[in-house]
Each structure stands twice: as structure tokens, then as C-alpha cells.
Structure 1
């Protein structure tokens, strides 16, 4: 058993996997470090006004969209609905659909019903009659085919078979004679001409063609070798030297410059954004303290007490006076209407006399003086 304790130390950290480690940065030369700072300063000076103008345009666009374009769009949408969509819906619902239903009913009455009646009452019996005639005609044609055409066909076939046999015998003899004439008049002479004349002539022409082809191949090979070395010495080697010693270093320098300019643009855009945000907050604070807060103080300290005083001293008494004037005008109009009603009643009484009194009609419910109570029954069945 181990009786000695191990020395206390910091806990061992697990190894970091290779995929979680940050990528190693490529070592940079003095040229890159010398180019980076001036480029970033120049790019920041150039990008800062652009970023501030962009932020100002974004703020103006958001304000315009929220304060002008949004309400204008909603108003135009409601106007388009009121002028286009709702009239079209009403036209479809109350004009097109009823007219379509009426036209469908007329089409059914004027077209479908007559067509169905004519099909059932005219075309179906006519079709049955034509089918019966067709079956009779088919039976007649079948009898003609079986009793007339079939024997005649067998006779014609037997006659044609005999004529074919005679023609075959005659044709075989003619074919043998023509084949013998063609063999001895065309094939044998043509075979002799091919073996004795054409084959030697063709071999001579082929030998001459091979010699000419070899000569042309030698000439083309020599010319190609001369042109290859000429182009290599005059074009390829100078172009390779130009690429290796001029274009490649210039390209690497331009690539480093373009990379630094791109990184400087991103860095300058972020810094310009922070500067623009700070300037915007400063301008907002100045605008609040120069314009908003004085206006708010004037509104709270001056305009609100003045408005309350004007309301209590002028507007409310004027409103009470206007209400009293309106009440008096309504009372005067009511009195005038009552006077006019009494005048019309007097004129009607003078012209037509007194009207007959109305007969009293028994009411189901008791009057106000004879209301129902718990100790007294007022129904029709238990009334005293």
C-alpha cells in the first residue's frame, strides 16, 4: 500500500481536439505590416463620410416608412378595396351569379330538355330501326359470302395455282439461260481483267503513294522541329522569364494589397459605424436638450396652466351658455310644435266636427287601483 500522498497540483486539463483549436495565422512580412496602417487610415478617412451618410439615409428611410409610406399604403389599400374589390364582389354576388343561374336555367329548359326528349322519343326508336336493318343486311351479306363468294374464290385460287406452276417452270428455264450467258459474257472477262490488269496497276500506285507519304512526313517533321525551337527560344523562354521574375512578384504584391484593402474596408466600416452611432446619439441628445426639453418645459409650465385657465374661465361658461341656449331653443320649438298641433286639432274640429268617443275595451290585467294581492284573488275563475 502506498502511504505517501501525491503532491497537490492544478488539475490536468483534457487535451483540446484539433478541430476546436484556432487556425494558425500565417506569418506576415514587414511589407504587409508597413502597408496595413497607412491603408487603414486612408480607408477610414474615405469610408467615414459614406457610413455616416448611409446611417442618415437609413434613419430617414425608417422614419419615412413609418410616418408616411405605411399610412399611405394602408390608405391606398383601403381605397383599392373600396373602389375595386368591394364593387367586384358586389358585381359577382348580385349580378354575375344571378345572371349565371338564370342563363343556366334557360339553357337547361331550352337545350337540355329538348335534346333529352328528342333522344328518348326520336333517336332511340330510329336507332333501334337502323340496328334491325343492319342485322338483316349483315345476314344477307353473310349468305352471299357463304353461298356465292366462297365457291367462286376456291375456283379462282385453283386456276391461279395452275397458272403459277406453269410460270414457275418457264421462269426456271429462262433463269438458267440468262445465268449461263451472264457468266461467260461478263463475269469471266471481268475476273481476267481484275487479275491481269487492275491488281498490278494498283500495287504500283500504292508503292508510289507510300514513297510520297514518307517524303512528306520527313519534310513536315523537319519543319516542325525548326518551328518548335524557334518558338521556344523567341517566345516561350522570354514569356517564362517575364512571368517568373516580373508578373508573379507584382501579382503577389497586388494580392497582398487587395487583401489589406479589403480588411481595411471592413475594419473602417465597423469603426465608422461606431463613430456614426456616437455622433447620432450626440445629435439626438443635443436636439433633445435644445428643442424637445424647452418645448416640453414651455408646454408643462406655460401652455398647460394657460389652457386650464382658458378652459375654466372661457370654454366651460361658453359651453354652459350654449347648452342653456340649446335647451331654450328646444323648449321654444316644443311649444311651437304643441301650438301647431292644437291649431290643427281646432281646424279639424271646426271643419269635421267632434270625433266619436272610443269604446272602453276590457283589459286582461287589473288597473292600478285593483292590483293583485296575496289575500285576494283577481283571476277570472276565482273572482267574487
Structure 2
């Protein structure tokens, strides 16, 4: 007895079997077409992809540095030039003018028309309605007392004449129907049943047989002359040519996609190299010299200007400010004393209530324990 397990079968893979390469799986024609087409596609697509990536980078740079600020500036200018004047015109000119015109139209149109309706048209309408009711009552009396009896008499006469005419017409219709049945319908039915129907069936059978024979002859003629050559052309010429064209088109599309991806990788590497070169160039030719100038030249000069010019000027300005405030305070006090002297000269001293010793103040107590 064999107790060992049998080896597991290898898993099914989507690739070609062992000992067979991808080119052998795809065929010699595919292998012969793929490599030249990919090389040509890479040579043709690489400049296009690099130009496209350069345009994208330039567009992003222009959008972030030029177009967006320009659009914001234009938006602010449009708001300042158009929107705000229009809003102010609407708020301060159009709305008050419309309210004034509405009030004027109300006073010139609605009020006069309301008074005309209330004091002229309403009484006139009541009078016309009263007159119409009177006329309607007279017409109802005329209809009930005169027209209704006359109409009933005329209707009775017409009813009798109608019954007489109906009896005469019914008799004439019966006679005409009997004559038409036995002189026209019965002979026509016999002629259709025994003459026209058999002749029509025979003619239809003959015509059907002729048309069937002609159709069979035309069918086989078209099949031999058109269908079989077209089928042979499609099967032995168009199908192989179409397969070759499909393989070429598929390989060209795959080569273009592969070349586009490879060109993207190359363009990315070139772009990163150029970006790094630009950053280093910008740093060592502009940033570092500017930083050195700022640290070694501008900072000492700024400190000297601050210590030698700005701080003394600030001290002088603060001293001048204190002097000016003192002068203004003295001037206000002088003006206040002058006004008080003029008031005393014109109106005399103001009378005040005498303050006694027992008056209770904040700094003096009048209680029994703390009394002075």
C-alpha cells in the first residue's frame, strides 16, 4: 500500500506554458510587428509628451501667479466700478423715485377711480339693476301669459302633421325596400356566388403559381451569382486581411499607450532634474546673495538707523507731544478761569446753602461716640 500522497497538480496560470515564450504564444507576426512599432511610437510620442508636460507646468504656474491674482483684481474692480454704483443708484435713486411715483399714481389714479366707483357708478348700477328687474318681470309675464299658450297650440298642430307624414314615409320606405331586395340584392348575390367567386379563385391560383416559379428562378440566380462569390470573398479574403489589420491596430494602440507611459516617466525625470537645477540656481545666485546682503549689510545699517536716528526722533517727538499737551492744558485752564470771571462779573456770586458744624460729611461723623 502506498501511503504517500500524490503530488498536487501545478496551479493553472494565465501565462504561456513552460518552455514557451511570450513571443511564441503571441505568434511570429505579433513579435515581428511589436518591437519596431514600439520604437517608432516612442520616438514620435516622446516630444509630444514632453511638450504637453511643459505646457501643463507653464499653465499651472501662470494660473497660480498671474491669472488668479488678475482675476481677483478684475473682480474687485468690477465690484467697485459696477456693482457698488448700481447698488447705490438702486438704493438712493431708483427706490425713492419709484416710491414717489407709486404714491403719485395712487393719488392721481386709485383715489379718483375709487370715488368715481363709490359715488357715481354704484348708484347708477343700482338704478340699472332696478330697471332690469322691472323689465324682467314684464317679460316673464309676457312669456307666461301670451307666448306659452301660443307655443303649446302650435306644438299640437305640428305634432299631428308629423304623425301623418311619418305614416306616409313608413309606407313608402317599406315598398322601396321590398323592390330593392328582389330586384338588386338577390340577383347580385347569385352572380357573386356562382360566377365571380369561382373565376377569382382560379385566377388567384394561376397568378400564385407564376409568381412562385419566377421567385424560385430569381432566388437561385441571385444565390449563384451574388451570395456565393460574396461569401467566398468574405471567408477567404476579408477575414484574413481583417485579422492582420486588427493585430496591427492592436499593437499600434498598445505601442502608443506604452510609449506615452514611458515618455511620461522620462518627462517626469527630466522635469525633476530641471526643477532641481532651477532651485539650486535660484538659491545660489539669488537667495543666498540676498540673505548675505541682508545679514551683513542691511541689518547693521538698520540697527544704526534705529539707534542713531529713529529713537532720538521718537524721544524728541514724545517731548514735543508732552509740551504741546501741557500748553493745551494751561490754555484750557486759562479759558475756564476767564469764563468764570466773566460769569461772576455779569451775574454775581452764585448763592449756596450755608454749611453748619453739625452737618454730616464724608470726613466727619455726627454720632455721639465719634463726635468731635
State the TM-score, normalized to the length of structure 1.
Answer: 0.67
Deviation at 1:307, TM superposition (A): 6.3
Question: What does residue 145 of structure 1 align with?
Answer: 143
Change (3 A) 1:294 1:46: farther
Deviation at 1:88, TM superposition (A): 0.8
Change (3 A) 1:303 1:57: farther
Note the 1:1-384 alignment, pairs <5 A: 25=14, 27=16, 28-30=22-24, 43-44=41-42, 46-179=44-177, 181-182=179-180, 186-187=183-184, 191-192=186-187, 195=190, 199-200=194-195, 203-204=198-199, 206-305=201-300, 362=350, 374=363
Alpha-carbon contact 1:51-1:272 (below 8 Å) kept: yes
Change (3 A) 1:114 1:170: same
Deviation at 1:136, TM superposition (A): 1.6
Change (3 A) 1:41 1:224: closer
Deviation at 1:195, TM superposition (A): 3.2
Alpha-carbon contact 1:43-1:268 (below 8 Å) kept: no
Deviation at 1:228, TM superposition (A): 0.4
Change (3 A) 1:42 1:291: farther
Looking at structure 2, the residues matched to 83 and 272 of structure 1 have their Cα atoms a distance apart, in angstroms, of 46
Looking at structure 2, the residues matched to 361 and 266 of structure 1 have their Cα atoms a distance apart, in angstroms, of 104
Change (3 A) 1:374 1:43: farther
Looking at structure 2, the residues matched to 198 and 248 of structure 1 have their Cα atoms a distance apart, in angstroms, of 67
Alpha-carbon contact 2:34-2:255 (below 8 Å) kept: yes
Alpha-carbon contact 1:39-1:260 (below 8 Å) kept: yes
Alpha-carbon contact 1:51-1:276 (below 8 Å) kept: no
Deviation at 1:112, TM superposition (A): 1.1
Deviation at 1:245, TM superposition (A): 2.9
Deviation at 1:150, TM superposition (A): 1.5
Q: Deviations over 1:87-115 (max 9, x none)?
A: 11111111111111111111111111111
Looking at structure 1, the residues matched to 43 and 92 of structure 2 have their Cα atoms a distance apart, in angstroms, of 68
Looking at structure 1, the residues matched to 93 and 13 of structure 2 have their Cα atoms a distance apart, in angstroms, of 77
Change (3 A) 1:222 1:29: same
Looking at structure 2, the residues matched to 293 and 47 of structure 1 have their Cα atoms a distance apart, in angstroms, of 40
Q: Deviations over 1:301-327 (max 9, x none)?
A: 3455466667878x769x96xx99xx9
Looking at structure 2, the residues matched to 67 and 235 of structure 1 have their Cα atoms a distance apart, in angstroms, of 65
Unpaired segments of 5 or more residues in structure 1? 1-22, 332-356, 365-371, 377-384
Deviates more, 1:34-43 or 1:91-100: 34-43
Looking at structure 1, the residues matched to 247 and 48 of structure 2 have their Cα atoms a distance apart, in angstroms, of 30
